[in-house]
Structure 1
């Protein structure tokens, strides 16, 4: 038997702003287009909004008195969502590329992985390089430290060391961040 949600108990998402009759303050600071800014009684502010066939939206409830804007609420919500999307799009996304070594990595493999790391740093991604110790190779910790230090020194022109070699379980890790572009 399938379980169904109880009837009539759907939660309506709460509006982020108080509008019209939901505003509880007695006096409000009124702003908006075609409105003379000032402090008005709540009933007078509602009447001004109604006369323009618009909504009274409380945009700053913590101010004294609260700030209300005369605006079309659905258009206002749309613009707020659009602003949030733009902010999110402008936020820089951090990309981390991983490069794995063994404690006995040969020079050719090292150079090959170094070239990849250089291209990752040029693209603006961070590089997480680690030495993975399998089985009894954990006794060669100093080889791992030397390998990672050599790797970070070889990349000094492209990135800066963000985290020193650190052993976590069977992995010794460093993180390199790209240098800011030169002007």
Structure 2
């Protein structure tokens, strides 16, 4: 994933700057930035520890040492909102709402959850959030998503796969909104 949204959400576009996994290029860029031996920083997380630790391993491969600070969600959220976490690994479910406003607008409209407080991003999102015209909304969201990716306010990594039921004897169709409508399922 390259955008700060889920691909199934209205207004999400993956046509944004993206960053390839290239450890050798990372080492060169670190040296050019004055960190030939890397640097250390604090990384905060609260769930999906195996993913956070994989990121720490990738960073270590280029000389960046991340000190993991593992917190309960409420404690981490408070620290994030106070600006006390330089980097954090978090997740968001968008309340199963298939619209960019449920994630991107929540995190980049200037609220306490906004890590960037970028007025350009907030203005684009406001335009998208307040229009009824799908074309205007898509254009506004694309502008915001491009700013977020270009400035690397977030570095999206993955989306979840949800497993609710499995049997060859069951008629069940999962939905993009992550709400399992088990009442629609039936046995073959």
TM-score w.r.t. structure 2 length? 0.19
**Which of the pair has more CA radius of gyration?**
1
TM-score w.r.t. structure 1 length? 0.20
Asked which structure has the greater RCO (Cα within 8 Å, sep 6+), the reply is 2
